Amino acid sequence: MAVHRHTSRRRRPTIAAPLHRFADLWRKGGGVEDYALSELRDGHRRSLRRMGSEFEITERTICLDVLPDAFNGFRIVQLTDVHYGVFLPEDMLRQAVQMVNELEPDLVALTGDFVTYSRAYIEPVAEILAGIESRHGAYAVLGNHDFRVGAEQVAGALEERGIEVLRNRHTKLRRRGQILYLAGIDDWNYRPDLGKALRGIPRNASTILLSHNPSIIRAAARANVPLVLSGHTHGGQVNIPLLGNIWGRSPEQLQYKVGWARLGQTQIYVSRGIGTIVVPVRFRCPAEIANLTLERAS
Ligand SMILES: [Fe+2]
């Protein structure tokens, strides 16, 4: 009796296989972060997401030479570099929004990188951020990742939910008949136009500039902008003892990249942000929600 053997041909894994899997995810609207975590088991994913990702609230008073009376004590909560997706999933973002709301901000500044590589997260991130409560609303600028994924889509999704996106323009915040100017520019690598954003603002007016990338600091100082709020650097994200982070470790190397600094009359605050890129890990560089109080310098 003849025995028929059914042999199924097994495809041998090739070097190109991971690339094909990534390309497949990309086509479905996924991104690098989905690919990286899809390689791990559930338990590992959960622990990676949690590594160093607890949110820290930074309390900081910013003293400004020019500040209308009505804005003395005005509180801006800054949330930046959300990078919504597998690295920073829904429960964590909802927790961050709740923490922002508990701070009862006068204004919320969202300084870019809402997503990382995947357009699938644009609508969901906007939906969750729509839960932000603030007396004067929430304002946003776009980061480099938002441009890579789709600037129009990100801006559209935020605007639809009442979050105003400042793309090379400014707006006036009014309190008791007094004005604070809030300007915002597109990302440093995607044709920011500071001149256009500031056009019409009286010189020496009280102005705050939102810029995803802190590299704008020199141009902002030349334009006499009193305060810039930025993100982008993630504070280095990983800070190894003795070695420091990717930006360096000396105060000079870290100037304008992490925390508060001043150049001439211009002050800048660079938040570490809440999200992560490349690896879903922070080390000695906690995720940050910045609670900034404006005060007139005496
Ligand atoms: Fe970022």
Exposure string (b/e) for 239-254, b if CB count within 10 Å is 16 or more? Answer: beeeebbebeeeeeeb
The number of domains in the chain is: 1
Facing residues of 227 across strands? 208, 267
232 Cα to the center of ligand 1, angstroms: 4
Distance 234 CA to ligand 1 centre (A): 6
pLDDT above 90 for 35: no
Q: Which of 31-35, 178-182, 230-234, 289-293 has the lowest mean pLDDT?
A: 31-35
Does 25 reside within a domain?
Answer: no
| Cβ count near 104 (within 10 Å) | 12
Asked if the structure places residue 27 within a domain, the reply is no
Gap between the terminal Cα atoms of the chain: 102
Tell me the pLDDT band of 242, cut-offs 50, 70 and 90.
confident
Spell out the alpha helix ranges (H) of the chain.
Answer: 17-27, 32-38, 42-50, 90-102, 122-129, 144-160, 194-198, 217-222, 251-254
User: Own/partner pairs for 47-51, CB < 8 Å, 24+ apart?
Assistant: 48/279, 48/280, 48/281, 49/86, 49/87, 49/88, 49/89, 49/92, 49/280, 51/280, 51/281, 51/282, 51/283
Give the pLDDT confidence of 147-188 residue by residue, as tens digits. 999 999 999 999 999 999 999 999 999 999 999 999 999 999
- 29 part of a folded domain: no
Q: How far apart are CA 255 and CA 214, in angstroms?
A: 10
- Return phi, psi of residue 287, to 5°: -60, 145
Report helix, strand or coil for 172.
strand
Residue (of 261, 252, 254, 256) closest to 239 by Cα position: 254
Q: What is the CATH number of the domain that holds 201?
A: 3.60.21.10
Helix runs in 211-275, H state only: 217-222, 251-254
C-alpha 69 – ligand 1 centre gap (Å) = 34
Distance 200 CA to ligand 1 centre (A): 30
Calculate the average pLDDT of the chain: 87
Query: What mean pLDDT is predicted for residues 73-89?
Result: 94
Q: How many helices (H) and strands (E) does the chain have?
A: 9, 12
pLDDT at 249: 84
Question: What separation in Å is there between the alpha carbon of 85 and the centre of ligand 1?
Answer: 13
CA of 204 to the centre of ligand 1 (A): 31
C-alpha 83 to ligand 1 mean position (Å): 7
* Residue 149 Cα to ligand 1 middle (Å): 13
- Calculate how far, in angstroms, residue 135's C-alpha sits from the geometric centre of ligand 1: 26
* Structural domain that includes position 117: 53-296
Is 280 within a domain? yes
Whether residue 152 lies inside any domain: the answer is yes
Q: How many whole angstroms from 233 Cα to the centroid of ligand 1?
A: 7
Q: What is the per-residue pLDDT across 1-23, written as a single tens digit (0 to 9) for each?
A: 444 444 444 455 555 665 665 56
CA of 151 to the centre of ligand 1 (A): 14
Is 34 among the domain residues? Answer: no
Q: In this predicted model, what pLDDT tens digit does every residue of 115-130 receive, in sequence order?
A: 999 999 999 999 999 9
Separation of 256 CA from ligand 1 center, angstroms?
Answer: 15
Average pLDDT for 75-103: 94
In a domain, 141, yes or no: yes
Tokens linked to 96 = 């961050």
Closest to 272 measured CA to CA, from 244, 236, 234, 239:
234
CA of 267 to the centre of ligand 1 (A): 21
Q: Is the pLDDT of residue 26 over 70?
A: no
User: Considering only CA atoms, which of 153, 99, 151, 102 is closest in space to residue 124?
Assistant: 153
Report which DSSP code applies to 201: P
**pTM of the predicted structure, to 2 decimals:** 0.85
pLDDT of residue 19: 60
Q: How far is the CA of 51 from the centre of ligand 1 (A)?
A: 17
Q: Return the pLDDT at 23.
A: 60
Tell me how far the alpha carbon of residue 47 lies from the centroid of ligand 1, in angstroms. Answer: 21
Largest CA distance in the chain: 102
**Is 30 part of any domain?**
no
